[in-house]
Structure 1
Amino acid sequence: MNAEELAEIVENLRVLGSDVADVEVKKAQGGLPKSLRETLSAFSNTRGGVVILGLDEGDRFMPARLADPAKLASDLASLCSSEIEPAIRPYIQIHPFEGAQLVVAEVPEIPREQKPCYYKGAGLTKGAYTRLHDGDRQLSSYEVQMMLSARGQPKEDSEPVAGVGIEALDSHLVAATMLRLRSSRPYSYRDLSVADILRRTKVLIPRPDGSGEDVSVGGLLALGSYPQEHFPQLMLTFVHYPTVSGPAEESGVRFLDSVAIEGPIPVMVRDALAAIRRNMSRRSITTGAGRQDIWEYPETALREAITNALVHRDLSAASRGAQVQVEMFPDRLVIRNAGGLYGPVTLENLGEEGATSSRNAALLRVLEDVPIPGEDRTVCENRGSGIRAMLISLRRSGMTAPKFDDRISSFVVTFPNHSLLNDDVVRWIGSLGEAGLTDGQCMALGLMHDGTVIDNASYRKLTGLDSRKVTAELQDLVGRELVEQVGTGRWARYRLAERLATGGATDRPSRMAPADRREEILDALGTTTASRAELAARTGLSDQTVRRWLTMLRREGLIEATETSTASKHTKYRRTYPSPDPKLF
């Protein structure tokens, strides 16, 4: 980390007024704080982070004047190597900053096969932490177990169900799966008997004593006639609540619909979709071809989310008492399952090409060829394309991407119940008086119209654009003074400009467009030359806004750059004046 990056971090902390998820500040005037052990564990177990010793959060992150920065840095290195298991090796530096010295440690995330990282003095079960928002939270014993199991490939789906044989399978599902396997993979399955295919796919597991075979947990869930006879809670529940907070206390109505959905996974996927469809209504959105009636939630997105929850849930003994839960509220649909993301898949790369991993590899392999009853499709493709299909279907329906929440012990998908480009939003965007907005910018404005703050990553998921294009479109919205940027660099967040954020959805102020900035720029330029940075200082406008109007003035021939390149904010500009008319002389 260099001095410029440190200054950027501190400036963002001062703007936000608190620590952030990947930055922890400690005053540390009395030496290493005891809570630092928790932070080191949390950063190592999550996505890494930066520890800054010598800033006072209570005094607007001003320097706290460390007595002996060199000793503090040495003590920190010793703590990381001798008191943390596994030992971590943060990059520790002493930085001069605003007349004082700070100790800065960049803590990396440790590899999955080494987690959980914990403080030795408290032990594995009490000394392991995770980072949640801007604080450190102790891992539960179940979360510790989840991290330990993630060191390798979990095998719970291949465990035999003692005393349960082939008779527990649904003959129709088995027959349909055998037909598909022999057709799609003739080399591996064409000449095998049904029993041999079930053994090869780990649906049947031979007993160690050779006395017979048991059905595996995954085989029972994929092809069983009634898996809940043996695992009562490996099911799915659907509840439709009347209010955004759940039951309606005044009327006493607890729910509008409640269904316990059982059977093998193919049946649960089918019946869960039927229950949601029964409780959904249609809405209208505005498209390029006019108005279109769509369901509140695209079926493709729902199918992928439900399938993922059932297929990728944790099947260890500790979680077999938890159902997959689907909850419908007036403003959202929530799908929750036990077990967080597994393997190299993270919230940051979720849905990106190549980002795929399966906790229940044997189960997923079988379901790739198990058809959903009454349909031509199988339960899943096993190509890592489910999240992408979900995001594409939402995008086509003019809806925002779902919120994904990974908590190690659980994974939650929340679909907001709104269309970004409904009639009210389209009218509002039209009232802004801004020509040339892209589809992505319109969708982002529709999202921010509801008070949502977005960043580069959420814009990418919303639009499907690459990072460079996203940055350009967001900066253009800032330049148009429609959006305000809070923070810089990786901490940059974008929200609707304050002048647009007042009033309700349908009673916005009539004067929506910002003032024409041409005269302000020209007046600030005067008869001198000035750079973009100087013009921003003279006018009080943002760099992006000055850049936008300089571009327009150049196109109109009213100003010119004194250099060939205009990429730098330090490039000088001057006004152009028409040549004198020779008839006047």
Structure 2
Amino acid sequence: MLDAELGEIVANLRVLGADIADVEVKSSGGGLPKSLRETLSAFSNTRGGVVILGLDEGRGFAAVGLTNPAKLAADFASMCSSEMDPPIKPLIRIHQFEGERVVVAEIPELDPAQRPCFYIGAGMHKGSFIRVSDGDRRLSAYEVQIVLSSRGQPRDDEQAVPGAEIGDLAPAGVDALIARLRTSRPYAFQDLDRLAVLRRAKVLVSAPDGKDEVSLAGLLALGSYPQERFPQLMLTFVHYPTAAGAQSATGQRFLDNVALEGPIPVMARDALAAIRRNMSRRAVVTGAGRQDSWEYPETALREAVVNALVHRDLSGSARGTQIQVEMYPDRLVIKSPGGLFGPVTVDNLGEEGISSARNATLMKLLEDVPLPGETRTVCENRGSGIRSMLDALLSAGMSPPQFEDRVSSFIVTFPNHTLLSEETLGWISGLGEQGLSDSQCVALAILREEEMLDNRSYRAATGVDSRVATTELQDLVARELVAQSGTRRWAHYRLAPRPASRISGTTPRADRRPALLAALGDETLSRTELAIRTGLSDQTVRRWLTIMREEGTVDLVGNVPRSKSTRYRRARQEALFPTNTTDEK
């Protein structure tokens, strides 16, 4: 880590007034604190992070220094290598910061195949932690089991269900599956008899006595009534009257409350019907005007419900927990047992090529099992469900869903409001900016509702890749619509302060050409020098210099316009530039 990066991190901590998810600060006046082991485990089991020793959070993250930073760094390295399992390999460096020496350690994220990282002295079940907000939380025994399951492919869905025979399956569903497999996958299934097809598809598996029994995957995909053996492998839907849940003033606990049972295709169909029955319609602004639409796009709901049913944890410890769908006036929440599996994280959900299946056999089966009364199958969009969900919400002008991985559960929350409402579109129009992309408009709308965005949340909301997100965010900074704090992984973006007249659209947008021409005078200056003289950001200076070069009001001295050291001067024809522009500071 560079000294400048450390300065940015501390400046951000001082603005926020507390530790953040990926930064932990310790004063460490008396040596390494014991709680550091918990932080090392938490960072390793989550997204990695930075530990800074020698700052005092209670004094506004002031640099208090360390008596013997070299020994502290050595002790830190020893703790990582000898007290943690698996050993951690941090990058440790001593920095000079505000006149004091501090130790900075960058803790890498551990590969899911090696988790959990834990403190050896406490053991795996008491010494494993994850990072939640700015604190470290101990994993429960069940959560440790979930983390361990990501080291390989779980086979819970392939287990035989004792006593379950082919007679426990719905005949129509079995016939439809066999016919589809023989047609769509003839190499593997065309020449097999019915029982052989079901065995190869792992609907039937061998019991310890050698007889055929129905697998858990087969029962959930095709069973007549799976809940006869597993009562809680079901889905519940509750519609609450208030944002807080039950309405205590009137005694009304809920507006609708149903328990949905049957195989997964039936539960998916009935869950969507229950949500639809409780939804209202809203007006959505489109390019041609307004149109009525459901509160939540059905595509997004279907993907979320199916994902919950297919990817839930099916291990013995989780079979007593049902999937929960909760509707509130301001949101819809879908909770399923078991967090994200394998390489999938909240950060990369929806990215192309990122996919994993906790219940691989169940998912493979449901690719060939149709939804009741439809020709499409339950899992027709394997690997692209999250992307379809995000695209549907974006097309409806709604906020992206919030994903929360709690290790023992995964929660999807759909906010119930139109992101690009008529009023919001009017506000964006009033900013006076031309050429904004659709994704930039979405980001501005989100920033108007929320406080902050980063590159990851920009990608999640808009569906663009990391390169496009960086380019578009930097363009918003250059336009002075958004203010950036920090750089690289620490970069965060907020709405820039805007004059009231600018927001109402009664005055033109800020024109920085006069300020740049005045700063140039008769000199030849670099972009960095112009930024210092005008007080503008580098992105804003670069944007306006590009415009002025195209207009012919400034000349480039050199051939590398993107370099900060390239110099600029007034062009001879600059006198033709109109002088009646307004310079808004």
TM-score range, shorter chain: over 0.9
CA contact 1:15–1:487 (8 Å) conserved in 2 = no
Q: Give 1:366's aligned residue.
A: 365
CA contact 1:434–1:513 (8 Å) conserved in 2 = no
Q: Give 2:581's aligned residue.
A: none
- Superposition pairs for residues 383-402 of structure 1, below 5 Å? 383-402=382-401
Q: Give 1:204's aligned residue.
A: 204
CA contact 2:49–2:106 (8 Å) conserved in 1 = yes
CA contact 1:15–1:486 (8 Å) conserved in 2 = no
Q: Deviations over 1:527-575 (max 9, x none)?
A: 3333333333333333323333333333333333333322133433333
- Superposition pairs for residues 104-253 of structure 1, below 5 Å? 104-210=104-210, 212-253=211-252
C-alpha separation between the residues in 2 aligned to 1:580 and 1:274?
69
Give, in angstroms, the shift of residue 292 of structure 1.
3.3
CA contact 2:433–2:509 (8 Å) conserved in 1 = no
CA contact 1:236–1:260 (8 Å) conserved in 2 = yes
Question: Which AA in structure 2 matches 1:29?
Answer: G
Moved more, 177-186 or 539-548: 539-548
3-state SS in 2 of match to 1:399:
coil
Q: Does 1:96 pair with 2:60?
A: no
Give, in angstroms, the shift of residue 469 of structure 1.
2.3
Q: Give 1:464's aligned residue.
A: 463
Give, in angstroms, the shift of residue 214 of structure 1.
2.2
Q: TM-score, normalised on structure 2?
A: 0.93
Q: Give 2:474's aligned residue.
A: 475
C-alpha separation between the residues in 1 aligned to 2:503 and 2:68?
56
Give, in angstroms, the shift of residue 452 of structure 1.
4.8
Change (3 A) 1:91 1:517: closer
C-alpha separation between the residues in 2 aligned to 1:326 and 1:292?
27
Give, in angstroms, the shift of residue 413 of structure 1.
1.0
Change (3 A) 1:111 1:556: closer
3-state SS in 1 of match to 2:542:
helix
3-state SS in 1 of match to 2:335:
strand
Q: Give 2:528's aligned residue.
A: 533
Q: Give 2:554's aligned residue.
A: 559
C-alpha separation between the residues in 2 aligned to 1:183 and 1:114?
41
C-alpha separation between the residues in 1 aligned to 2:453 and 2:469?
12
Give, in angstroms, the shift of residue 12 of structure 1.
3.0
Q: Give 1:349's aligned residue.
A: 348
C-alpha separation between the residues in 2 aligned to 1:391 and 1:205?
38
Q: Give 1:311's aligned residue.
A: 310
Q: Give 1:301's aligned residue.
A: 300
Q: Give 1:517's aligned residue.
A: 512
CA contact 2:146–2:338 (8 Å) conserved in 1 = yes
Change (3 A) 1:69 1:512: farther
Question: Which AA in structure 2 matches 1:370?
Answer: V
Q: Deviations over 1:187-228 (max 9, x none)?
A: 211222222222222222222123x33222221111111111
C-alpha separation between the residues in 1 aligned to 2:273 and 2:382?
25
The gaps in structure 2 that reach 5 residues or longer are 577-585
Give, in angstroms, the shift of residue 509 of structure 1.
4.9
C-alpha separation between the residues in 2 aligned to 1:257 and 1:56?
51
Q: Deviations over 1:65-118 (max 9, x none)?
A: 211111111111221222112222222222333333222222222232322111
C-alpha separation between the residues in 1 aligned to 2:343 and 2:165?
35
3-state SS in 1 of match to 2:102:
strand
Q: Give 1:82's aligned residue.
A: 82
C-alpha separation between the residues in 2 aligned to 1:442 and 1:79?
48
CA contact 1:365–1:382 (8 Å) conserved in 2 = no
3-state SS in 2 of match to 1:433:
coil
Give, in angstroms, the shift of residue 274 of structure 1.
0.9
CA contact 2:553–2:573 (8 Å) conserved in 1 = no
Question: Which AA in structure 1 matches 2:298?
Answer: E
Q: Give 2:379's aligned residue.
A: 380
Question: Which AA in structure 1 matches 2:188?
Answer: S
Question: Which AA in structure 2 matches 1:203?
Answer: V
3-state SS in 2 of match to 1:394:
helix
CA contact 1:12–1:488 (8 Å) conserved in 2 = no
Give, in angstroms, the shift of residue 339 of structure 1.
0.5
Moved more, 421-430 or 97-106: 97-106
CA contact 1:431–1:512 (8 Å) conserved in 2 = no
Q: Does 1:280 pair with 2:279?
A: yes
Q: Give 1:255's aligned residue.
A: 254
Change (3 A) 1:580 1:42: closer
Q: Give 2:580's aligned residue.
A: none
Question: Which AA in structure 2 matches 1:441?
Answer: Q
Change (3 A) 1:168 1:513: farther
Give, in angstroms, the shift of residue 181 of structure 1.
0.9
Question: Which AA in structure 2 matches 1:341?
Answer: L
Moved more, 196-205 or 404-413: 196-205
Q: Give 2:14's aligned residue.
A: 14
Moved more, 292-301 or 64-73: 292-301
Give, in angstroms, the shift of residue 135 of structure 1.
1.2
CA contact 1:364–1:382 (8 Å) conserved in 2 = no
Pairs aligned (count): 576
Moved more, 99-108 or 270-279: 99-108
Change (3 A) 1:261 1:452: farther
Give, in angstroms, the shift of residue 513 of structure 1.
5.5
Give, in angstroms, the shift of residue 577 of structure 1.
4.4
Moved more, 469-478 or 327-336: 469-478
C-alpha separation between the residues in 2 aligned to 1:133 and 1:444?
23
Give, in angstroms, the shift of residue 514 of structure 1.
4.4
3-state SS in 2 of match to 1:125:
helix
3-state SS in 2 of match to 1:481:
coil
3-state SS in 2 of match to 1:387:
helix
Q: Give 1:568's aligned residue.
A: 563
C-alpha separation between the residues in 1 aligned to 2:195 and 2:523?
88
Give, in angstroms, the shift of residue 371 of structure 1.
0.8
Give, in angstroms, the shift of residue 579 of structure 1.
9.3
Change (3 A) 1:552 1:41: same
Change (3 A) 1:168 1:392: same
CA contact 1:432–1:512 (8 Å) conserved in 2 = no
3-state SS in 2 of match to 1:565:
coil
Give, in angstroms, the shift of residue 145 of structure 1.
1.2
C-alpha separation between the residues in 2 aligned to 1:15 and 1:514?
29
C-alpha separation between the residues in 1 aligned to 2:476 and 2:574?
36
CA contact 2:427–2:504 (8 Å) conserved in 1 = no
Q: Does 1:543 pair with 2:538?
A: yes
CA contact 1:451–1:496 (8 Å) conserved in 2 = no
C-alpha separation between the residues in 2 aligned to 1:195 and 1:498?
69
Q: Give 1:498's aligned residue.
A: 497
Q: Does 1:435 pair with 2:430?
A: no
What is the percent sequence identity of the aligned residues?
Answer: 63
3-state SS in 1 of match to 2:362:
helix
3-state SS in 1 of match to 2:484:
strand
Q: Deviations over 1:328-348 (max 9, x none)?
A: 122221111010111111122
3-state SS in 1 of match to 2:325:
strand
